[in-house]
Structure formats: C-alpha cells, structure tokens
Chain A
Amino acid sequence: MTPASHPSASALPEGADRGAEVLRVEDLVKHFPVAAGLLRRRGSAVQAVDGVTFSLATGETLGLVGESGCGKSTVARLIVRLLDPTAGRVLYRGRDIAACGRRQLRDVRRELQIVFQDPYGSLNPRRTVHEIVAQPLRVHGEYRGGEGRRRVDETLEKVGLRPGDGDRLPHEFSGGQRQRIGIARALVLGPRVLVLDEPVSALDVSIQAQVLNLLRELQSELGLAYLLIAHDLAVVRHLCDRVAVMYLGRIVEIGASRAVYTRPLHPYTQALLSAVPVPDPAQRDRPRRIVLGGDVPDPANPPSGCRFRTRCWKAAGRCAAQDPALVDRFGHGHPSACFFAEVPAAPTTVGLPP
C-alpha cells in the first residue's frame, strides 16, 4: 500500500471544489417517544439529538465523538435518513434530505453512503461478496452484464480485495476483510460523502490500522468527504480535519482537530481527553488527570440549562438557569458551549512535536 497523502492532494470528483460545503445539518432534533408507564410521565421522550448544527466540506473529514448515548450514531442515521428527524434539516448540496421524495432520496443516496460498525451483522451471510457489492448498483438500475461485473471487481480491488474474492461468502473472511467488503459496497456507486459509523471499533489493533490507512488512501484518491462517528479519540485524531464533541444530544465544542485536542475549551472535552489511557507507562502518573464523577444523566430527563453541569466542576447557578450557546468565544474559529470555557494554559496533550 502506498502511504496516504493529506486530503489536500485529493483528486476531487468533477465539479467539486475542495472546501465547498457538501453537507449541512441545521438544528437537527430527534426525540424518541417513550411508552407511558409507571415511572414515566406520558408524553416524555428520549432527546437523543437536540439541536445539532454543523457542515462538512468536500474532501474533508469531520469527526463526531462522544460517549454512548450522546446521540452521535443517531445523527449518522438521520443523515442517511434511516431515521426521520423530529425537527431540523439535513442539506445535501442544498437539498433537504428530510423533505425528499423516494425518487430524489434515491439520487441522494447514490452520493451519500454509510459504512456500519459491525462487519458481521451488516453483510447478508447468504450472498456472495460480489452480490453484496453489486446490490446498490442493481437498486439503481446500473448493474448491466459485463459492465456491472467490471465495476464490482474494480471496487473490490480498490479496497484491497481480489476480484476472485467476489465468489466467496462473508463468513469466509476475517473481521478486517469484512469491513473492506462493507466499504466496497458503500463505494460502488461512486459517492461523494461517506458516513462512517464506528468503522474500526470491532477490529483488532493491527487490523484497525490497515482499515484506517485504507480509508485515508481512498479519501485522497477519490476526494471523498467523511463524517466519522467514533468513540475512540485516538482514531478520530488520526483521521479527522475537524472534530465535534457531543454530550447528551448536543455539540459542546467544534473545531480543527489539532485545536480541540491540544487546547480543549469545554470542561467535558478536557475531561474526556484526560481520561484516555496513554500507551506510554512513563506518563501514567501524569498530573491533571480529570476523573468525572457519576454517570451520564437520563436523556429522557436531561438537566436544565447546560446538560453537562451535573458532572462539571465549574458549574454555577447560571449553568442551571441558562443554556450556553455553541459560539466562538475566543475568536479562534473554535466554538464552545460553556459559560466558563477557558483556553488551557499549556497544550494538554503530550508528545507534540515542538
């Protein structure tokens, strides 16, 4: 494999300017109604996503990070419209996906595809790899004889599989190879945007690195934009140009990867980064590790005001009364949603090149 170059060297699809906005999410809300029961008021809802706004540019990778229940995977499903939003818009090149009819949605899906976490559950075990990868072409009426076969073989090759692998069944492959099949299926229609939902979290370290390298290579070769949903902060740092940190259905901080990782402004981001075990025993007694107390609150009954305040060491009366807006508080192009956001005195992650 050739070393991946930075996405700025991308071969972009025709008619696409690098840096042009390709996907935009505006005030996205998804509430799941909870069945009325003894313990819950009638009409209560799990506020899985509650007012999320961001945009994604051509050739760019945006990471969406946060812990379980923060709503990141729901955002992924709303974007590819596996779920309908309660409110808000998902604009793919200016067109609102939530308002699309079937036919328009099909056009959008050609260009906007998703790769799922579980390389075991997301591939039909009775179909050959060729059939699995050909399926999107058939749905779009583009699988025609020799031409269709050739496109599938080309795509398999692109993700590092051999054309001969097309005749085999998914169970004959290891986890890493299966994830390549999932990526091939997402690529075969020639999309511009891939939503990657925890694409490597089921894989072992040595295999994870192969898939991460593949994703980088494909991006620079095809000029793809990625929305990466992941809980592993090191994986996100490795792949992303920008990062959005989510907590209980909201974005608490968004900015350039390097800025968020070295100068996190929101207390939650600071705690999250400091909690990641560092694979270097020389740093185990590093100071300023923040261990948060308690658990994430129930998303059906989130705290008033700032949702992080129940675990926050900076919380004051104001935090319960008012909702802090996600705004660029320091003019660095790095918005945060905290009244007490602070630029850390020193870079917070270790080992940065001077």
Chain B
Amino acid sequence: MTDRGGGSAPAGQPVLRIRDLVVEFDTPDGVVRAVDGVSYDVAGGETLGVVGESGCGKTVTVLAVLGLLPRRSARVVRGEALLGGMDLLRLPPRRLRAVRGKRVAMVFQNPMTSLHPALTVRHQIAEALRAHDRGLPRHAARRRAVELLDAVGVADAARRARGYPHQWSGGMRQRAMIAMAIANEPDLLIADEPTTALDVTIQAQVLDLLREVRGRTGAATILITHDLGVIAEMADRVVVVYAGRVVETGDVHTIFHAPRHPYTLGLLAALPRLDTDRQSLAAIPGQPPDLVRRPSGCAFHPRCGLHRGRNRCVAQSPDLATVGPGHRAACHYADELAAETARAAGMSAAEPGDGPGAPA
C-alpha cells in the first residue's frame, strides 16, 4: 500500500449511512424480522464497533448492504444504505458487484471458506485486483499480490504466495484475506468477527495489522464482533444491537464507562475478567428472544432488571433517544441507569499505565 487510497472520504465524513433497514427471513416457523429498523453511519478513518450476541442481526445488516443475503429466503423490506450518493440496496446486481471488493471490502470470520482451496493464494489476490482493473497485466497483478502479502506481514511472501490456502495457518490466511480486502484501496472495510477463529496471540497480531491498515489507508471500518475486549481495543464508536435493533450507540469510552441501556450494562457485568477474582458473575437472566415470537414493546423487557413490571416496557417499543453528546439509547428508563453505571464504572476503574504485559 502506498498512502491513502484515492477514493477514501475525508476523515469525519460519513462513508456509509444505513437508514431504517428492515430485513425479513422466511423460516418454517414463520417470518422472522432479523433486522428491525437499524440505522448507523461510519466515517472515513473511523472504526465503528458493532456488538451483539448470535442472531441479533449484526451480520445480517451488512450482508443486506452488500447484497449477499440468500435471495430465496431473505428480503430487504425497507431502508437505505448510502455509499456516497448511491443507495446500495437499490443497485442492480452487476453494479453492486463492481462496488464490492473495490469500494467496499470484507474480511470474514473463517478465511478457509472465503479462499478457494484449489487456487494459490497469489492467484486469488491477483484475480481480485484484475476483477476491478481489467487493464492490469497478469504478471503485474501477481507482483502486486506479493507486495500486498508482504505489507500485511507474511514472511517470505514471494515463495509462500505460490502455496495453497491449506498450507497456510489460520493467522496467515486471515492476513491473506486482509491483503485481498485492501488490494483495491477500499473506502470501507467490513470485518465480521475477523479474529474469532484465531488464538489469542495470533489475534493480537491481526488486530495490530487492522490498526495499521486503518492508519495507512484511512478507510472507514465496520468491525462486527461479540467480543467486548476486541471492541474496547479497536473501536472509536460502538453500536450495540439486540433482537434486530440498535439499543445503544456512542463513543467507545461512554459505552464502556457510562452505558445507558440495561442490556449494554448487563453484557459488561456478565463478562469474566482477567484482572479480578470475582466470585459470581451478574448473568443476564433468561435466553435471547426467539424472533418468531418477539416480545412486545421493548424486546429486552423479559430479561431486564430495570423493567420491574412497568407496563410501558411491555406496551411501547422505545425509540433510540439522545441521552448525552453523541450518545443515544433505546430505553424508556435510561435516566435511571445513570446512578447504576456510575457505580459500575467505579468498580472497573483502573489506572492506565498499570497495564498487563511483562518487562520485555
């Protein structure tokens, strides 16, 4: 990579704006509304962390934006996904294909299923380059592929690039995926659980690489993960998703230290920590909702400690309302959480600089 890709939006300007996205699936049990009015923006140079548990709709949202939903069973009911002036949801498939891999690139959880097992790594990256630049000669594309692998920290890239994916370790494959994703200097990088399948020491390498790539390309990044640790390390802003809706969004420090939605607070309290011998975890009771039978009103109310039998939670779905600067939460009683979060923040407060690690 050289410096910033020519197409990148200036930092601070939204690269992608998702507005009121609704996605439904047909299932044997009935229609499931997996995404129910999701809106968020991501700006150039920014990393937006999207967090939530399995089935909450965090991945379906971006698959819809990219036109990668199974056509048979899924449909976008309404919404917009604006990349520059273009609504990706209304783009014909051919034009959307031209956007994918060029202006928007993806890194998925399992690089083994995203790489073709019978083609060399070099060939696949070279083809990704040529797919968007037909004029690029094959030998130049191959040379560029090796440069990209070198840039993402693949040692001895020229030799290894001639190998096949199964000859690469999981961490190396994920580097190859990242090399492929940044090959065309995208404006937007979507990374869906990029380190979930990796061991922790390899995860540290890949997160470092993603940070470096962001610094170098100035691309906007959407980082989807269930891992609050990864969010805390990487994100500038955070979107918390529950049952297909954004329940809270704000600056990463605000979300971790002063959350105003009981679900966010619950997730943080349920987390076992490396730094304490806590005796009992504050588990969130119950199960994530079955979206075929979505609870009425606020979908979190059956598991919520703040509900306390109040009718409003059952009757009325809360809107995402501003609770502070750049901070919004979808809870009727968000103000009641202020005292509780202050207490929780006091509990987890730690001195920066007293960090883990060892004298190297």
| Chain A interface bracket (under 10, 10 to 19, 20 to 34, 35 or more) | 35 or more
Q: Assuming A234-B271, A276-B229, is B279 touching A289 (CB within 8 A)?
A: no
Contact A287 B355 (CB under 8 A): yes
**A282 CB–B CB distance under 8 Å:** yes
Q: Assuming A277-B232, A280-B256, is B352 touching A295 (CB within 8 A)?
A: no
**Interface residue SS majority, chain B:** loop
**A272 CB–B CB distance under 8 Å:** yes
| Chain B interface bracket (under 10, 10 to 19, 20 to 34, 35 or more) | 35 or more
Docked complex Cα distance between A261 and B356 (Å): 10
Contact B253 A281 (CB under 8 A): yes
Contact B356 A350 (CB under 8 A): yes
Smallest CB–CB gap between B288 and chain A, Å? Answer: 7
Contact A349 B274 (CB under 8 A): yes
Contact A213 B283 (CB under 8 A): yes
Contact A206 B288 (CB under 8 A): yes
Using CB atoms, name the residue of chain B closest to A344: B358
Interface residues of B in 188-245 (CB under 8 A from A): 199-205, 207-208, 226-235
Interface residue stretch chosen among B139-147, B262-270, B330-338: B262-270
Contact A6 B202 (CB under 8 A): no
Contact A279 B228 (CB under 8 A): yes
Interface residues of B in 240-281 (CB under 8 A from A): 252-253, 256-257, 266-268, 270-281
List residues of chain A with CB within 8 A of the CB of B2. Answer: none
Docked complex Cα distance between A285 and B230 (Å): 13
**B284 CB–A CB distance under 8 Å:** yes
Docked complex Cα distance between A278 and B200 (Å): 12
Contact A210 B283 (CB under 8 A): yes
**A238 CB–B CB distance under 8 Å:** yes
**A352 CB–B CB distance under 8 Å:** yes
List residues of chain A with CB within 8 A of the CB of B360. Answer: 288, 290, 313
**B79 CB–A CB distance under 8 Å:** no
* Contact among B54, B268, B280, B356 with A274 in the assembled complex (CB-CB below 8 Å): B356
Contact A209 B284 (CB under 8 A): yes
List residues of chain B with CB within 8 A of the CB of A212. Answer: 272, 281, 283
Q: Assuming A286-B352, A350-B351, is B287 touching A177 (CB within 8 A)?
A: yes
Cross-chain pairs A/B with CB under 8 angstroms, 8 sampled? A4-B279, A205-B267, A216-B279, A234-B273, A238-B272, A294-B155, A351-B354, A352-B276
| Residues on A facing B (Cβ under 8 Å) | 3-6, 67-68, 174, 176-177, 204-210, 212-213, 216, 231-235, 237-239, 257-258, 261, 264, 267, 270-296, 313, 342, 344-346, 348-353
The 3 closest A-B pairs by CB, nearest first: A286-B355, A277-B229, A288-B357
